[in-house]
Amino acid sequence: MMKDITIVILAGGKSSRIGQDKGLISVNGKPMVQHLIDIAKVLKLNTIIIANNSDYESFNIPVYEDDYKEIGPLGGIHAGFKNTQTSKIFVLSCDTPFITAGLIKYIIEASNLYDITIPRHGSKTHPLIGIYTRDIVKPLLNTISHKKLKVMTLIDNLNSSIVDVTELFSSEIFENINTQKDLYAKVQLKSFGIISDRINKVDMTLSIPNKKQVNLRNYFNDKWPFLKDISYTIAIDQEIREELNKNEHPNEIAILPPFAGG
């Protein structure tokens, strides 16, 4: 089943709200698009990028332009099907760098009976994270020809499934970056003992979501799943706590395993 899927990263937007090409913005030390490429490698899925910017060719992934420009994501989805041979594509927007392999696998497993399968977390639906089958190409072209350019309009009129993943995955993995306010503050992270051994770093610079409040335990567990099986403590500027508030700028965050001392 996995072999008949291609990851299609949509990086063709104007990024007008952020002032630069979103997929090339660095988050946690690498461009956002690289995060998605790395996840695709973990899943051993072929990957292409849909972009009108030749800078994406530096990632050594096939890059294709939209045939239908200036119409938004539907043009990118069409280009994804045109430039792949698989019966399904998994669409990922380039501004969602925290998507996990676990979420992608879950959506794939839930997609057997549908032409389109996308997730919903809480009240928010994510049409640019999901499986689309080649059966939608004709209605997709029809939608484009009638200038009905909202992705959800297409989804609502086809054999689609919106899978509720609220209880299964953290909201943090759906974070996307659309404006300068969404950019992530850099903080110094220190880990100790078995945790630093598993991460392969004692000190690192980490970007934390700039939103109202972040539960760091959930954030770290999603970033490093092995932490779910370890009893550990979080300290923000040497204060034992797990919630990081919006616009807070700590000097240091530490992850402390049992008996780590200080």
- C-alpha 128/C-alpha 124 separation (Å) is 12
Residues 6+ apart with CB under 8 A from 195: 227, 230, 232, 255, 257
Confirm whether pTM is higher than 0.75: no
- C-alpha 17/C-alpha 4 separation (Å) is 35
Element (H or E) spanning 127, and its range? none
What is residue 261's three-state secondary structure?
Answer: coil
pLDDT band for position 131 (50/70/90)? very high
Q: What is the pLDDT of residues 132-147, one digit of tens each?
A: 999 999 999 999 999 9
Give the single-character DSSP code of 151.
Answer: H
Mean per-residue pLDDT, 247-258: 84
Is residue 165 predicted with pLDDT exceeding 90?
yes
CA 12 vs. chain centroid, Å, equals 16
Surface-to-core class of residue 68, CB atoms within 10 Å of its CB (0-12 exposed, 13-18 middle, 19+ buried)? middle
Q: What is the pLDDT of residues 28-69, one digit of tens each?
A: 668 889 999 999 999 999 999 999 999 999 999 999 999 998
Residues 6+ apart with CB under 8 A from 38: none
- C-alpha 133/C-alpha 103 separation (Å) is 18
In order of their start, the domains of the chain are 2-174 (3.90.550.10), 184-256 (3.10.20.30)
Rg of the chain taking only CA atoms, in angstroms: 19
Taking each helix axis as running N to C, give the angle between helix 101-109 and helix 32-43, from 0 to 180 degrees, rounded to the nearest 10: 60
Q: What is the pLDDT of residues 167-217, one digit of tens each?
A: 999 887 898 876 655 666 677 889 988 898 888 877 888 777 666 677 889
Mean per-residue pLDDT, 82-86: 96
Mean per-residue pLDDT, 21-33: 81
